[in-house]
Structure 1
Amino acid sequence: MVTSGSGSSSQSNRGRTDITWAHVIEGVDPNGKKTLRCLHRGKVTRGGGIFRMKQHLAGTKGDVGACKKVPFDVQYSMRESLKDIGKKNKEKADSSKYNTPYGAPVHVFEGDMLNEDSEEFRPSGIHINEGRFGSQKQSTMLDKSKRNKSIGVGDYFALRTIGGSQPSIRSCLAGKDATWRADMTFGRFFYNACIPINAVNSIYLQPLVDAIAAIGPRYKHPNYHALRVNLLRDAKNEVQLLVDSYRKIWKNVGCTLMADGWTDNSHRSLINFMVYCPKGVCFVKSVDVSYVVKDAGTLLKMFEEVALWIGPNSIVHFVSDNGSNYKAARRMLSEKYPSITWSPCAAHSINLVLKDIAEMDHIVYLARRASEVTKFIYNHTFLIAWLRKRQGWKEIVRPGATCFATTFIAMRSIHEHKHDLQAMVTDRSFVDSRYAKSNKGKYVIDIILDNDF
């Protein structure tokens, strides 16, 4: 007898949508227990529900025997239904498994993380708000703890995110999958924001990871406004404190003031002022002098302004370019402040020496021929690609340490790659190409094969 009374559970009502019910009759035995009977073979099951009958019709090994009279199409549909159920169960298990970033549901272990309400381990720089975190009594106890204890237990242990440190219980539960997800999340941020990969070499990256790991999954990153205003202001204050600590060194042992004149990519004429002391180099400021006449008087005014900010008595050495205007300005500065001595910039001196050498007739001749070879190679993709396949090849055009050093570095590179260049112009692929038959190509071939060059 089929029962469909009001006493059926909600779960049973939802189960009526299953395709198995079309091949099953529901009834009750003499003891009042619900039964399911197969319409094809007459198999009766007590308990296990519709899923057990689905296994019976699908013919799979399980808690019930297979039905030998079920049609093939019904058996196939039951097996597909079991596969769908298995996929859904697996997805549900994976979702439950990954509901935390540690690969499995992880509870807070005693001793693994510091107690948030503990005054003993709270960082000394955190101020407690009475209305939100505790009473005035807690704040007083914290202040007393800070006065009596300058270090905490954490000061005796290495950070848990660096190599060689003792792993925590939480990190031990983080398997390879959790580590991979953390790494991928890290990488996606770099790829989405187009951040250069060498940013991972920053000395501030590991402290960032340590700070986030110490807080845990509750940490929320600062928003745009905080980075642009509040945190930037705090970072500026930190730099100011660092400079103030340098100023004490300047007064005690003296310092060197350096004025570096240069031209940027926008053809602006700039002068950078830096201060050197045994503790390190400090950048002071950069002055744009593109729209002023850099005579001795103007330079003296700029030099004196920086010297007064540092303290003339703290400056024992002044380094600048070797131009006549710089020499005149430093002479007037030394007369006004006798404690300041001057020396020329070594890089600028080398630059001037190389400039004089580059103006010699035979160097001009060599540089012009080397320039023809370099331009011919780099103007044709086929040639530079052929050379780059050679073992030990280094680019001919490379920036030099100084402006005029680039010419000599290029000529030295051509001399070192003499055999590579000669092998290129004698290679069959080049000889048969249109490059070797052009007038420019013939001229370059003569230069490369010239032993005197």
Structure 2
Amino acid sequence: MVDPVWEHGEKRGSGFKCKYCGTSKSGGGATRFKDHLAHRGHDVIDCPSVPPAVKNFFISELDKIKAKKYERQQDRRRRDAAARSTQYVDLEGEEEEEEQDDELQQALRHSREEYEFRQRAGPRYERGGGSGSGQARDPGTGVTIPTGRDIDGKYLSENVEEIKKEINKWKQEFPEYGATIICDSWTGISRNSVINFLVYCNGMMYFWKSIDVTGKIQDHRLILKEITIVLNDIGPEDVIQIVTDNGSNFKKACKLLAEEYPHIVWQPCLAHTINLILKDIGKWDDHKAMIQSAQYICQWLYNSNSVHSMFKSATGGELVKWNATRFGTNYMFLESFMKKKDQFMVWMMSTEYRSSRHYKTEAGKYAFECMTSVQWWANMQYVINDVEPLYSFLRFADQDKTPTLGEVLMEYGSLKRTYHTRFHSDMARCDRIMEIVDRRLASVFEENVFGDLRKGLERLFDIDRAARALQENTTSSDSS
């Protein structure tokens, strides 16, 4: 049921706009709007133009809400008092109203158990409730609400100590299963840079620490220094693998580390490596031109509210936006464009668009020329076809369930077969794509444990080698 307060204003997200005085508030919802109209509350200004009848109505509504809240609090206090009482009501011998008595007995028992649990748990116990309730929950008699100093002080310290105990217990598994250090750098929109370290062992992963490297040169020396510190904290003899992205700084640092500790294997992140492959392909002239053209049109679509409204109404949805550092999203963006091809062409030729002022702008004319051109859409499909198998490979590498080494090699083989089948009539383009793929994946497949596994699988599935071995075996049997 819609709250009657919205007949007197407009709901804007979690806030409101009053139709009488035009006052807007970004939060507070229906409750604050009623306070505004009834001239109640301290967190909202009074409406100077509300009609008296409307004001009196919402004064009455707020009084009813307050009365119901008071009744709930009184009922809760009565239940808590009954739960604390040592004299329990025994209704088993009563013959009348047995069903109602059983329900009452069960309610009293439940209330007593809940009260005892809250007493044992202390102030950290919270009864719950949605974040939209807008009111603080009454914790009950005998339960003290913790202050901000408590939460940020002793309770936080207690949680830290609990996590430390768990980690110390978990570290006892390092010698048996071996530990993997995972390292990744991150730069936010405010240009702050951090390097995060995580440790994995026996199916569990913990955040180890984070380092602020804002303003520092993240060369291989800095990376090597910080990884070495974490390595010494854990114990070099218990670390078997280090996983990082495939950046040149991480690559060089981990190679130097492997020289000092030969038992430690460096494993570059497969998803990041595939992302770099897409970056290299995205530098091709035809790919670069198509991505820039589509991005220019997209910026025009979203820079004007009226154009965006027309576009959304005509196509029935939004476009997938690209990310500057995740190059696979460029092709996700093009694919979302391609899925709306028919709707875009119909919209561009519609009277609504061609009679609008946007059609006469430079960007509007450019969008019209591109999206009504069959060749422009064909070029987009051509670019998407180049990377579609790679994008499937990226989804495989970036899934929640971490793939095994064997699964990665099998997926790589499937990728090669897909490209050879798709471009059987244009092997030059297939070879150009696979040259980039193999060059980037060389660090994944050749310079670590992947290399030995790959050679073993290639020998296992090498038909020519198997045929020669079979022939040699047959010849040897005949000779004997």
TM-score by length of 1: 0.55
Alignment check: 8 A CA contact 2:320 2:333 kept: yes
* Equivalent residue number for residue 411 of structure 1: 334
**Aligned partner of 1:342 among 249, 254, 266:** 266
Q: What does 1:171-210 correspond to in 2, within 5 Å? A: 186=129, 191=134
Alpha-carbon displacement from aligned partner over 1:293-318 (angstroms, at most 9, x marks no partner): 33333322211110010111111111
Residues 1:169 and 2:108 are matched in the alignment: yes
Query: Shift of residue 224 of structure 1?
Result: 1.8
Larger relative contact order (CA 8 Å, sep ≥ 6): 2
CA contact (8 A) 1:271 1:288 kept: yes
Alignment of 1:282-321 (within 5 A): 282-321=206-245
3-state secondary structure, aligned to 2:205: strand
**Matched AA of 2:348:** V
Partner of 2:343: 420
Structure 1 window deviating more from structure 2 (266-275 vs 305-314): it is: 266-275
Structure 2: distance between partners of 1:239 and 1:278: 17
1:451 aligns with 374
Match of 1:387 in 2: 311
TM-score, scaled relative to structure 2? 0.52
User: Which whole-Å deviations, capped at 9, do the CAs of 1:31-64 have from their partners, x for residues lacking one?
Assistant: xxxxxxxxxxxxxxxxxxxxxxxxxxxxxxxxxx
1:372 to 275, 296, 303: 296
- From 429, 436, 451, give the equivalent of 2:359: 436
Q: How many Å apart are 1:441 and its aligned residue? A: 0.9
In structure 2, the residue matched to 1:278 is 202
- Per-residue deviation at 1:369? 1.3
| Mapped contact 2:279–2:327 kept (Cα < 8 A) | yes
CA contact (8 A) 1:397 1:410 kept: yes
- SS state at 1:338 partner: coil
Percent identity over the alignment?
A: 27
Matched residue, 1:397 = 321
Alpha carbons 1:246, 1:279 under 8 Å: kept? no
Once residues 280 and 292 of structure 2 are traced to their aligned partners in structure 1, the CA distance between those partners, rounded to angstroms, is 16
CA deviation after TM superposition for structure 1 residue 269, in Å: 2.9
Change (3 A) 1:95 1:378: closer
For the pair 1:333 / 2:257, whether they are aligned, the reply is yes
Name the structure 2 match of 1:102: 75
Cα displacement (A) at 1:408:
1.2
Question: One-letter code of the match for 1:365?
Answer: A
Answer yes or no: is the 8 Å Cα contact 2:315–2:343 preserved in 1: no
In structure 2, list runs of 5 or more residues that go unmatched: 1-59, 87-104, 113-127, 377-480
State the secondary structure of the residue aligned to 1:266. Answer: coil
Instruction: Report what 2:408 is aligned to.
Output: none
Q: Deviations over 1:87-121 (max 9, x none)?
A: 9xxx9xx7998274537944744xx5697xxxxxx
Pairwise mapping of residues 47-126 of structure 1 onto structure 2 (< 5 A)? 98=71, 100-102=73-75, 105-106=78-79, 108-109=81-82
Name the CA distance, whole Å, in 2 between partners of 1:113 and 1:409.
61
- Picking from 242, 246, 249, the partner of 1:322 is 246
CA contact (8 A) 1:322 1:349 kept: yes
- Which structure: larger Rg? 1
Shift of 1:255: 1.5
Shift of 1:415: 0.6
Give distance in 2, aligned partners of 1:105 and 1:95. 15
The equivalent position to 2:154 in structure 1, one of 230, 235, 238, is: 230
Change in Cα spacing, 1:95 to 1:409, as seen in structure 2 (3 Å) is closer
Any idea what SS the aligned residue of 1:271 has? strand
Output the aligned Cα RMSD: 3.5
Cα separation, 2, equivalents of 1:344 and 1:352: 12
State the shift of 1:386 in Å.
2.6
The CA distance in 1 between the partners of 2:109 and 2:368, in whole Å, is 68
Is the contact made by 2:323 and 2:330 (CA closer than 8 Å) also made in structure 1?
no
Higher helix share: 2
Name the SS for the 2:360 alignment partner.
coil
* Equivalent of residue 248 in structure 1, options 172, 191, 196: 172
Change (3 A) 1:114 1:248: farther
One-letter amino acid of the counterpart of residue 269, structure 1:
S
Q: CA deviation at 1:428?
A: 2.2
- 1:289 offset after TM fit, Å? 2.6
